[in-house]
Amino acid sequence: MKNIFTLILSALLITPTCYAQKPTKVEKKLYKVARKQLANEDYRDAQKSYKHLVEMNATNETYHFEGGLSYYFSDVEREKGIPFFEASIQNSTEDTIPEIYYYLGRSYHLNGEFDKSKEAFNNFKPFIKTSSKDGQELMKKAIYFVKVNDIANKYLVNKNENIVTSNLGSKINSSFGEYAPVLKKDDNILLFTSRRETSNSNKLDKDLLPYENIYIAKKVNNTWVVLTDDKEIKKYMPNNLNSKKHDAGVIYSSDGKTLYTYKNDIIWKSVLEDGNWSKLVELDKNINTSKYNIPSISISDDGNTLFFVSNRKDGLGGKDIYKSIKTSEGNWGEAELLSESINSQLDEDSPYISSDGNTLYFSSKGHEGIGGYDIYKSKLVDGNWTAAENMGIPVNSASDDVYFIIDNAGINGFFASARSGGHGGMDIYDVCMDCPVIITNTINGILASLDNSPINDGEISIKKVDTGSLLGPIKTAEGKFKVVTEETGDHELIVEAPNYEKQITYLSLPKTTSETDVKIILSQFEKDAETYQVLNLSSNKLGINKSDTIKVDKVIASTDNDTSSRPTLGTYKEVYTYNSNKFNIEDAAFISLINKAIDNSSNHKIYIDIESSASKVPTTAFGSNNKLATSRGEKAKTIIMDYLKSKGVSSDNIVVNKINAIVSGPAYRGDFKNTSKYSEFQYVKITVK
């Protein structure tokens, strides 16, 4: 934690300041405790302390920032730091923004919000002092994450919905990290390595975590359960295999009679003879070398080829994957470095060879990936390994994904991942590579006229564009309808309603199970002696807000509530100062416009459109810029309604359409004193018809 702090702060053009306002004595005391907890990596306690500090002073950017760090540097629920970082930016003074962008970008990335992460890193880059070595290193990191987010989006778009991954749950995974799954296929036995607390956990490694131990799980009634019975455990691994130092399972031979394990930085094996496991024996020196750390191996089904990981001097960089072939004397031959199709200048790890020997699965930091270690595969074709192929989402994530193993059919397997949503550290997941998911798209719809009156007895149908399959018609009741389909992709939406002409529009249904709200508004208007019908289709979930217009033979629907054919009586714009939502009801231009509307309302309703905007200068008074914009619009609406009613206009004749609340203008760069830059984007615009 201290290293990344030092790098970032030394490489920025500006450095952080602290309090926006003077803290109380209680705050000072609690803040001192919180910072000590954060420095000592007591993240759970730090999270509680910073939560209390934020409750005491919701506008203090430092509390939010460091509260976010207490989640960012922890192994559990790191995504919960995102609201802290976002709030810190909202409440920042001009000297505290840059480093927040870095951690927010990393947090978005780890949470799979790749577009937001890219934007955060692009906002961060202008603040980096590239004249220093630290700054150059930090700029490389920022550029790297911008690129990685683009790559991740590519894999997200091409996500294979038939691949299903599932966390093995709390009976296997803990907050301390589990990894290196080893499958004994015939017995439904899974060995795995964990750094969870044990009776020996009073002795910790240099990273202050318990030493690794091997655990055994058995699948009972389709659920994995950790074995605790010593007699049962002895069936699957040597007695007293776990020691006071690091011990890890590596792999079983294909017949399940040889177990390879990791201990004292080298690989050992034990053979099952007459129902008992033999004492551990070191592998040959061609594999084991005391100078090198060898955390994982894989052995071909025939037992003659061994793939292992090492950081030897002849490698390409970091840890690389080697292979060794068994000699006629039964020893392991000289190690051979695999090609650049597999190895890169960065780390490779956890090789796993398929049962037919033609596919090598492995993890790497050096090939095109989503972030950290990704899982790849390579095919053996004419004696050469093909270029590493990223296995994509959902096998890979923005965090480390390693130790991929799979059954003989290439369908069901396991891997370890530090992805968001786990129990802490790394968790073990199972994966099905070909498990088609039944997708259900549910549309909860409303069909209404322009004044939002529900249209009864309407009929809604959807038709798949490429296959022509039709669902419907479905009747509307009180304007409501519900469509449930297993189809995805592009569809025609066919709308029929009394007093309206049949009309068709288009929408695309997601390729994942979803439930969404859809609103359809029908209206008609006359122009140049012709009659037109408008269908407006909107859905926040689907990201749709569009209008389709067709010409009809005659006016079939009432146009009294349709503003399309009515002239605009005028527009009024109220401009605000920072943090203000006060509407000036005494402005002569506003009064003139409203009176004009009243004069024209004898036979028509008054229609009012409101657009309210806040600039991107962070607000402390309203919590967020979106809330400020909404507050301005709502207050303007209340004032207009009250004014019209005071002049004798019935509320039934006043229609205020949905307020369009936006945040607009240039990005905030800490220059809030430059009011001329932001003032034109702080307004409420009222249009009356």
Q: Are 32 and 46 in contact (CB under 8 A)?
A: no
Any domain includes 83: yes
Mean pLDDT over each residue of the chain, to the nearest integer: 86
Which of residues 525, 552, 579 is at a domain's end? 552
Listed range (195-209, 384-398, 586-600) with the worst mean pLDDT? 195-209
Q: Hey, which residues does 166 pair with through a beta bridge?
A: 430
Task: Look at the block and give the residue holding tokens 């072939």.
Answer: 325
> Which long-range contacts link 651-657 to residues 24+ away (Cβ below 8 Å)?
652/605, 653/601, 653/604, 653/605, 653/606, 654/605, 654/606, 654/608, 655/451, 655/561, 655/605, 655/606, 655/607, 655/608, 656/608, 656/610, 657/607, 657/608, 657/609, 657/610
Q: What's the whole-number mean pLDDT along residues 575-600?
A: 86
Q: Is residue 171 part of a domain?
A: yes
- pLDDT-derived band at 252 (thresholds 50, 70, 90) equals confident
Q: What is the pLDDT of residue 561?
A: 44
Residues 426 and 492 reside in one and the same domain: no
463 with 495, same domain: the answer is yes
Predicted local distance difference test score (pLDDT) of residue 201: 53
User: Where residue 94 falls among pLDDT bands split at 50, 70, 90?
Assistant: low
Report pLDDT for 621. 78
- Measured distance CA(550)–CA(263) in Å, rounded: 75
Query: Does the structure show a pLDDT above 80 at 134?
Result: yes
Q: Is residue 15 scored above 60 in pLDDT? A: no
Look at residue 679 and tell me if it is in a domain. yes
Q: What is the pLDDT of residue 92?
A: 79
Per-residue pLDDT band for 678 (boundaries 50, 70, 90) equals confident
| Closest of 370, 380, 316, 396 to residue 348, by C-alpha | 316
Tens digit of each residue's pLDDT (9 = 90 or more) over 454-466: 998 899 999 999 8
Q: Is residue 576 part of a domain?
A: yes
- 283/391 same-domain check: yes
335 and 428 inside one domain:
yes
Structure tokens belonging to residue 436: 């088609």
Answer yes or no: do 263 and 411 share one domain: yes
**Is 433 within 8 Å of 413 (Cβ atoms)?**
yes
Write down the pTM of the prediction.
0.64
DSSP string, 174-220: -TT-EEEEEEEGGGTEEEEEE----TTTTSB-TTSSBPPEEEEEEEE
Between 92 and 269, name the one with better pLDDT.
269
Residue 62: in which H helix or E strand, if any? helix 61-72
pLDDT band at 265 (very low <50, low <70, confident <90, very high): confident
- Residue 680 domain boundaries: 570-688
pLDDT of residue 550: 92
Q: Which of 105, 99, 100 is nearest to 147 (CA)?
A: 105
Residue 553's SS3 state is coil
Tokens read off for 588: 């002569």
- Arithmetic mean of pLDDT, 540-558: 80
Q: What is the pLDDT of residue 601?
A: 67
Q: For the chain, what's the residue count?
A: 689
The share of the chain scoring above pLDDT 90, in percent, equals 42
pLDDT of residue 486: 87
Of 1-5, 369-373, 381-385, 424-428, which gets the smallest average pLDDT?
Answer: 1-5
Domain harbouring 316, CATH code: 2.120.10.30
Q: Taking residues 510-518, report their average pLDDT.
A: 87
* CB-CB neighbours of 230 under 10 Å: 8
Tally of domains in the chain: 4
Kindly tell me if the per-residue pLDDT of 225 is higher than 70. yes
Using a pLDDT cut of 70, give the percent of the chain over it: 91
Residues 419 and 472 in one domain: no
Same domain assignment for residues 520 and 636: no
Indicate whether 13 pLDDT > 60: no
Contact (Cβ atoms closer than 8 angstroms) between residue 468 and residue 478: no
How far, in whole angstroms, is CA 681 from its chain's centroid?
31
> Are 597 and 665 members of one domain?
yes
Report if residue 630 sits inside a domain.
yes
- The two tokens of residue 447 are 């069909």
The answer on pLDDT for 520 being more than 90 is: yes
Q: How confident is the model at residue 378 (pLDDT cuts 50, 70, 90)?
A: very high
597 to each of 600, 649, 654, 687, how far by Cα in Å? 5, 10, 10, 10
Task: Kindly tell me if the per-residue pLDDT of 435 is higher than 50.
Answer: yes
CA pair distance 561, 655, nearest whole angstrom = 9
pLDDT of residue 554: 62
pLDDT at 2 over 50: no
Rounded Cα distance, 619 and 101, in Å: 18
Does the structure show a pLDDT above 60 at 16? no
Q: Is 557 within a domain?
A: no
What's the CATH code of the domain at 615?
Answer: 3.30.1330.60
Report the CATH number that the domain containing residue 139 is assigned in CATH.
Answer: 1.25.40.10
Question: At 302, is the secondary structure helix, strand, or coil?
Answer: coil
For residue 464, being part of any structural domain is answered with yes
Of 159-173, 232-246, 316-330, where does mean pLDDT reach its minimum?
Answer: 232-246
Domain closes at, from 415, 432, 449 = 432
If asked whether residues 599 and 518 sit together in one domain, one would say no
Beta bridge partners of 614: 663
Q: For residue range 51-81, list pLDDT tens digits in order.
A: 999 999 988 888 999 999 999 988 788 889 9
In whole angstroms, give the CA distance from residue 666 to residue 469: 47
Beta strand spans in 418-529 (E): 427-432, 441-449, 459-464, 470-475, 480-485, 489-496, 503-509, 514-527
What's the pLDDT at 275?
86
595: helix, strand or coil: helix
| DSSP state at residue 599 | H
Residues 652-668 have pLDDT tens digits of 778 888 788 898 888 87
Give yes or no: residues 467 and 407 share one domain.
Answer: no
Beta-bridge partner residues of 572: 686
Residue 19 pLDDT > 50, yes or no?
Answer: no
What is the CATH classification number for the domain harbouring 515?
2.60.40.1120
Q: Which of 552, 579, 613 is the last residue of a domain?
A: 552
One domain for residues 543 and 613: no
pLDDT of residue 4 exceeding 60, the answer is: no
Residue 680 resides in a domain = yes
Query: CA-CA distance, 540 to 574, in Å (whole number)?
Result: 28
How far apart, in whole angstroms, are the C-alpha atoms of residue 102 and residue 68?
12
Say whether both 516 and 395 belong to one domain.
Answer: no
Residues 553-585 have pLDDT tens digits of 765 554 444 444 456 788 999 999 888 888 888
